[in-house]
């Protein structure tokens, strides 16, 4: 009840480079001091902390990173105490290849975009509590019936986005070059992998519409392109939040081409220049815009509100 009296401060997640700077300047020296290792012969190779960030943490901030660095320094202190001698020793070198011995098995597998996208699959961007994430929306036809099945532990808003995407494509089937009968004679199944992870929000609407369009038009989606945006029932692409985190996730996965709602153009200023300069961002306003930019070859369809000139009408002359 007091929420409306409070000022809500939203802190965006850190980029990989920002985490690395924080770790090198503050977290690692602090953990060395706490473990009594400041004056001990110790060398940390330059690729160790970046590897810890990628393989041992998944977060918007640096708390897990600090915990992992603390675990590492404690293990080092124990090792030095157990192997202490009166003889001079060479500095202990901490290498990336030895992190498994210090920190255990890696918690996260390396992230990379899919090499190929079959028909009916599109790449989307999502915001989570641990930062941005890349998700894949898969779709398929089910002969018989006309129901829409949605799986992947999706919340109510995300399910409504799937329904809106299907309804829009059905209403615009002829102008998009889709046989309307396919909606009557086939059920459709939309699935978002990693079903154990809850997902919600409207920002996958554009991705769902794209996945279904790819399936129904028989045209694959470009594998180098990801997208985010809410879809309206009239086919408009509406703005969404978490743009910085989503672009950081896409960059981390090696995706360099992003489709964003035009209304989110102002949010690009929050994205670090080092990331922004390496990405091609395409702004879209409608699903037709999306399909023109994201399919491997552009479909031919008519734009709402336009029509070919009637042959019965006389052609104006000077």
Q: State the catalytic residues.
A: 203, 246
Instruction: Work out whether strand 121-128 and strand 131-151 pair parallel, antiparallel, or are unpaired.
Output: antiparallel
- The neighbour count for residue 38, using CB atoms within 10 Å, is 10
Q: Among residues 284, 290, 288, 235, which one has the least CA distance to residue 264?
A: 284
Residue 281 β-bridge partners = 258
287-294 and 205-217 are packed helices; what angle lies between their axes, rounded to 10 degrees?
A: 60
Give dist(CA 57, CA 244) in Å, integer.
19
Q: Which of 150, 147, 148, 167 is nearest to 159 (CA)?
A: 150
φ/ψ bin of 247: left (φ > 0), alpha (ψ from -120 to 50), beta (otherwise): alpha
Distance CA 91, CA 157 (A): 56
**By the 8 A CB rule, do 250 and 223 touch?**
no
CA gap 297, 96 in Å, rounded: 43
**Number of other CB atoms surrounding residue 123 within 10 Å:** 29
């Amino acid at each position: 009840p007091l929420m409306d009296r409070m000022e809500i401060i939203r802190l965006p997640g850190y980029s990989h480079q920002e985490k690395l700077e924080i770790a090198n300047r503050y977290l690692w020296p602090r953990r060395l001091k706490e473990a009594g290792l400041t004056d001990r012969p110790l060398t940390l190779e330059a690729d160790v902390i970046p590897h810890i960030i990628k393989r041992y943490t998944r977060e918007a901030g640096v708390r897990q990173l600090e915990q992992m660095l603390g675990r590492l320094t404690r293990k080092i202190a124990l090792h030095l105490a157990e192997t202490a001698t009166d003889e001079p020793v060479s500095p202990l070198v901490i290498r990336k290849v030895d992190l498994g011995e210090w920190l255990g098995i890696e918690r996260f597998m390396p992230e990379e975009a899919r090499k190929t996208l079959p028909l009916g699959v599109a790449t989307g961007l999502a915001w989570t509590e641990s930062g941005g994430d890349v998700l894949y929306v898969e779709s398929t036809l089910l002969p018989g019936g006309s129901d829409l099945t949605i799986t992947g532990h999706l919340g109510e808003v995300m399910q409504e986005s799937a329904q809106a995407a299907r309804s829009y494509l059905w209403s615009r089937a002829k102008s998009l070059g889709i046989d309307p009968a396919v909606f009557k004679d086939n059920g459709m199944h939309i699935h978002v992998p990693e079903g154990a992870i809850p997902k919600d929000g409207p920002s996958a609407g554009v991705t769902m519409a794209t996945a279904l369009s790819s399936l129904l038009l028989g045209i694959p989606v470009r594998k180098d392109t990801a997208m985010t945006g809410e879809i309206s029932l009239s086919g408009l692409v509406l703005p969404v939040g978490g743009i910085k985190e989503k672009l950081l996730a896409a960059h981390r996965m090696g995706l360099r081409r992003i489709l964003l709602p035009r209304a989110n153009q102002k949010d690009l200023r929050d994205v670090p220049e080092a990331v922004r300069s390496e990405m091609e961002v395409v702004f879209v306003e409608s699903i037709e815009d999306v399909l023109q930019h994201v399919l491997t070859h552009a479909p031919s369809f008519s734009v709402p509100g336009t029509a070919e000139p009637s042959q019965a009408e006389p052609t104006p002359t000077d």
